[in-house]
Homo-oligomer: A and B are copies of this chain.
Amino acid sequence: MNYADRLQRAIDQRGNPCLVGLDPILELLPPEFAAARDTKLPRADRARALGDFCCAVLDVVASKIPAVKPQSAFFEALGSDGVRQFERVVATARNLGLVVIADVKRGDIASTAEAYAHAFLGGTTGVHEDELADAVTLSPFLGSDSISPFLEVCKRTGRGCYVLVRTSNKGSADFQRHGAPELSFQVADAVVRWGSELIGESGFSSVGAVVGATHGAELASFRERMPRTPFLLPGYGAQGAGAKDVVGAFVASTGGPRGALVNSSRGILFAYRDAKYAGKPWKDATRAAVEAMVQDLGAALGSR
């Protein structure tokens, strides 16, 4: 089954489009994982604490949401020991039935891009099968021939990718809005072309687009340009976007939310630091934050 169909099935089953970003920022971990911050401990032990935290988060959220997005950088910050835990977190999430999007934002010339595709999506025996992600995020700066190797692997293995089109950060305007039409629109058109051979029975392609939820007003025009593209919308919660900002990214449907995932990372993982959940154990705070997000999006999407 192709990625877009598997994803849509997972969204339908959970009845919500929530994506939890696994960004284990060392300084923000709950006190019981303080070991990861103790620089006197062996690095492998510190990395294990990082993995333990993410796996504990997975236990809390797995029954409530369709997908998670581990952010590679926070694991790479602890070197190969951290990467070993990234693999563990991916495998744990997949074994819990979650769709896993490896947030790696890779982008390189073709021969190198192929190696990255193998690293995260498989097609060789370099990475163990259960440690491979379902999809990966990609940066388009190097152009079509840097994306093609991923499309080939996606076709062969039933996996997917999300290309950065317009990111959620403030600096996204620096280059992504350059030119007329702006660069983001050019990339969006390319995403449609790249995805045209990977459209599933759901009507969506396995080639998605990352569009920041923080650009609420523009989301509808991106959706118009990319009607069959699954969107990954970062920026909800800690980065400032709310449920009403993302409504334009979804495709009208009587069968529930279709065509987009809304990501929250820090707002879920570190909910225990939020005054709203003061005094709660961190898992209870995280659980409450996920449930609040599911409700918030449900209300906004239901009321269209």
Contacts and interface: CB of A to CB of B under 8 A. Distances in A.
Interface stretch (A126-134, A199-207, A220-228): A126-134
Given A139-B139, A142-B172, A145-B170, A119 B183 contact: no
Interface stretch (A4-12, A57-65, A77-85, A284-292): A77-85
A108 B212 CA distance: 13
Name, among A109, A164, A178, A180, the residue most crowded by chain B CB atoms within 10 Å (CB to CB).
A109
A86 to B, nearest CB: 8
A171 B111 CA distance: 13
A246 interface: no
Nearest to A38: B125
Interface stretch (A68-76, A250-258, A272-280, A293-301): A68-76
Contacts of A118: 77
Nearest to A169: B109
Nearest to A164: B141
Interface string A168-197: 111111111011100100110010000000
Interface string A35-58: 000010001001000000000000
Given A169-B142, A169-B145, A119 B175 contact: no
Interface in A97-144: 105-113, 115-116, 118-119, 124-128, 131, 139-144
Closest 10 CB pairs between A and B? A143-B171, A179-B179, A143-B174, A145-B171, A73-B115, A80-B84, A80-B83, A76-B119, A39-B125, A109-B169
Given A46-B126, A139-B142, 9 more contacts: A23-B112, A77-B119, A77-B124, A78-B126, A78-B127, A79-B87, A141-B167, A142-B171, A142-B176
17 contacts: A25-B115, A43-B128, A74-B115, A76-B116, A105-B107, A107-B107, A109-B168, A139-B141, A140-B175, A143-B170, A143-B174, A143-B176, A144-B171, A145-B169, A146-B169, A175-B183, A175-B186
